[in-house]
Amino acid sequence: MREVGLRDGLQSIARVLPTGHKLEWLRAAYEAGQREIEVGSFVPPRLLPQLADTAELVAFARTLPGLFTSVLVPNLRGAERAIDAGADLMLLPLSASHAHSLANLRKTPDEVVAEIGRIRAARDAAGSACLIEVGISTAFGCTLQGRVEPAEVLRLLQAVLDAGVDRVGLADTVGYADPRMVGDLFGQAFAVAGERLACGHFHDTRGLGIANVMAALDAGVTRFDACLAGIGGCPHAPGASGNVATEDLAYLFASMGVPTGLDLARLLALRARVAQWLDGETLHGTLWRAGLPRTLQPAAGEAA
Amino acid sequence: MREVGLRDGLQSIARVLPTGHKLEWLRAAYEAGQREIEVGSFVPPRLLPQLADTAELVAFARTLPGLFTSVLVPNLRGAERAIDAGADLMLLPLSASHAHSLANLRKTPDEVVAEIGRIRAARDAAGSACLIEVGISTAFGCTLQGRVEPAEVLRLLQAVLDAGVDRVGLADTVGYADPRMVGDLFGQAFAVAGERLACGHFHDTRGLGIANVMAALDAGVTRFDACLAGIGGCPHAPGASGNVATEDLAYLFASMGVPTGLDLARLLALRARVAQWLDGETLHGTLWRAGLPRTLQPAAGEAA
């Protein structure tokens, strides 16, 4: 599981969380067992002032042993900053919806593919080991455009593989997917990308987030994005609220015996702290209300 | 889909919804396409004053052509009232957890099985066509007892089939199930009960409700309980909040092309009305916030 609350989560919330709180979040997430965290975006601060301290967060993340540090970059300029900062992975968004691509990046999907090729060349020229991952967003539909053809998603998937990316993922940016769509598209995408298909990113906008994760898991996906407290959303995709909640997803895997290395009690404690910091914002997730079941707390009573 | 909001939902809410509102709910649910509705329980009014008007609701439900009317009954006395009222189906709860069975019905599970045998005899003696369905509750765990052994669930399943019930279902009363548990237990239960296994009842207490429905659907279940606005819970099972929300489940099926006969826009309109009536209560569900996706609204724009 990759925690994306500090990036996808905070970008959707207008208030600026102080850097001190972000560092505390990062450390507590690490102590709860999270080992891959997207700490921010290298976008111009005038566009997303919430994420202006990304370089500082990457620097701190690099001091935590074994933490894999991910950042989002929208273009070559951002990629250069990610390489300079020493991130382990840069996530490049590529929207399968032309309408969303133009709204979000002011480029067509094929212009983004060309930029990805330039980023790959720059990464190699710099002698950097920073992995390049492309997240194909709006892969299951788009609030601006409506339907997104699976054939277009698969065409773009092939194009970014040809451009030399290390990993790809599929994202349901606006919560339009259902489990059948997820099983079908991931199945087809695995046939194109093989093990380079390495991430599922789901929003719970319409209640199907966890069911979609299950469908992707059944299709062979072993790495998922999630946001603590289910925050998250794209500023240029209306109604794109609510990533799957880290704590709910961690509970799903714990209940099924799928190892994640996460400490659920610590995650719930961190969620409570983040909820205080974000007091007044709309948060999501379900587990925090009921607590862990007795069956996952063999030594103790029912969680409060 | 069987709507159980008027029973499982309202029994968990202390305030008494006026009969007029319940009749309005019933009619609007019918107009939204719901064709099986659990309208109440025949329990002593001093225990659940919220459901004291069940006979009146059954009488009204019988005037709606093609509506299949379900009521919950806890014992022989309640069964006699269901038969007298002319309900189409009586749902008998049987808890697989001894602790929950004693707290809820003050009987052991085997004493309940014996009562079910008496109910079957009374139904036949009355010449009634009222179907007898047993819902095996806490089938996936219990907040009072913790773990519930699948072998005990299957033993009780066989016992009620031997007692002559028409249908059985499995219920995750307290939200302890995960999709793997659901697939496993329903698979084993189908081997025992065949097509008499005819209902899945899931709570979304810890966020896995819809994923559990998917697992049951994949295991062969074709009939599910749900509550509008995700209300619901057992008064004697601490923390048993939140049935899967009717509107979210209807959206899941609509998106996947599974026919339900439901009109999603009407369901959402009814949800808004019920939310007004229950102002101040904790409601659940996700779809109402974002509205239907464009892809399910080909002729119109994005839902508000």
Per-residue pLDDT, averaged over A121-150, amounts to: 96
A302: nearest CB among B181, B239, B248: B239
Distance (Å, whole) CA B296 – CA A139: 16
Domains in chain A, start-ordered, CATH in brackets? Answer: 2-296 (3.20.20.70)
Catalytic-labelled residue, pool B130, B142, B199, B234: B234
Q: According to the model, what pLDDT value does residue B300 have? A: 45
Q: How far apart are CA A82 and CA A113, in angstroms?
A: 18
Distance from the Cα of B235 to chain A's closest Cα (Å) equals 15
Low-confidence stretches of chain B (pLDDT beneath 70): 235-240, 298-304
Identify the sign of the CA torsion A100, A106, A107, A113: negative
CB-side neighbour CA atoms (13 Å) of B80: 7
Contact between B154 and B111 (Cβ < 8 Å)? no
Note the pLDDT tens digit of each residue in A214-233: 999 999 999 999 999 999 87
| pLDDT given for residue B304 in this prediction | 35
Contacts of A61 (CB under 8 A, 6+ apart): A26, A37, A39, A67, A69
Confidence class of residue A297 from pLDDT cuts 50, 70 and 90?
confident
Question: Would the pLDDT of A234 be above 80?
Answer: no
Active site residue A234: yes
Residue B254: closest CA among chain A residues belongs to which residue?
A: A178
- Asked if A70 and A38 touch (Cβ cutoff 8 Å), the reply is yes
For residues A119-137, average pLDDT:
98
Residues 6+ apart with CB under 8 A from B231: B5, B8, B9, B10, B12, B13, B242, B243, B278, B281, B283, B284
Chain B residues with beta carbon closer than 8 angstroms to that of A205: 286, 289-290
Helix (H, G, I), strand (E, B), or coil: what is residue B213?
Answer: helix
* Angle of CA points A117, A120, A121, to nearest 5°: 90
- Please tell me which residue of chain B has the smallest CA distance to A174: B293
Its pTM stands at: 0.94
| Among B149, B271, B295, the residue to mutate for chain A (most A Cβ within 10 A) | B295
Rounded Cα distance, A29 and B128, in Å? 61
pLDDT at A100: 93
Distance between CA atoms of residues B186 and B291, nearest Å: 32
Q: What pLDDT is stored for residue B299 in this prediction?
A: 55
Interface test with B, best of A255, A267, A292 (most B CBs within 10 A): A255
B-chain CB neighbours of A181 within 8 Å are 255-256
What proportion of chain A, given as a percentage, has pLDDT over 70?
Answer: 95
B143: chain A residues, CB-CB within 8 Å: 293-294, 302
Q: How far is B181 from chain A (nearest CA, A)?
A: 8
CB-based contact B206 A285, cutoff 8 Å? no
Average pLDDT value over all residues in chain A: 94
ipTM: 0.92
Which pLDDT band, with edges at 50, 70 and 90, does A235 fall under? Answer: low
- In this predicted structure, what is the pLDDT of residue B297? 80
Cross-chain residue pair B251–A181, CB shorter than 8 Å: no
Smallest Cα distance from B243 to chain A, Å: 12
Query: What single-letter amino acid sits at A39?
Result: V
Q: What local confidence, expressed as pLDDT, does residue B233 receive?
A: 78
pLDDT at A303: 40
In SS3 terms, chain A reads as CEECHHHHHHHCCCCCCCHHHHHHHHHHHHHCCCCEEEEEECCCCCCCHHHCCHHHHHHHHCCCCCCEEEEECCCHHHHHHHHHHCCCEEEEEEECCHHHHHHHHCCCHHHHHHHHHHHHHHHHHCCCCCEEEEEEECCCCECCCECCCHHHHHHHHHHHHHCCCCEEEEEECCCCCCHHHHHHHHHHHHHHHHHHEEEEEEECCCCCHHHHHHHHHHHCCCCEEEEHHHCCCCCCCCCCCCECEHHHHHHHHHHHCCCCCCCHHHHHHHHHHHHHHCCCCCCCCCHHHHCCCHHHCCCCCCCC
The model's pLDDT over B119-173, given as tens digits with 9 standing for 90+, comes to 999 999 999 999 999 999 999 999 899 999 999 999 999 999 999 999 999 999 9
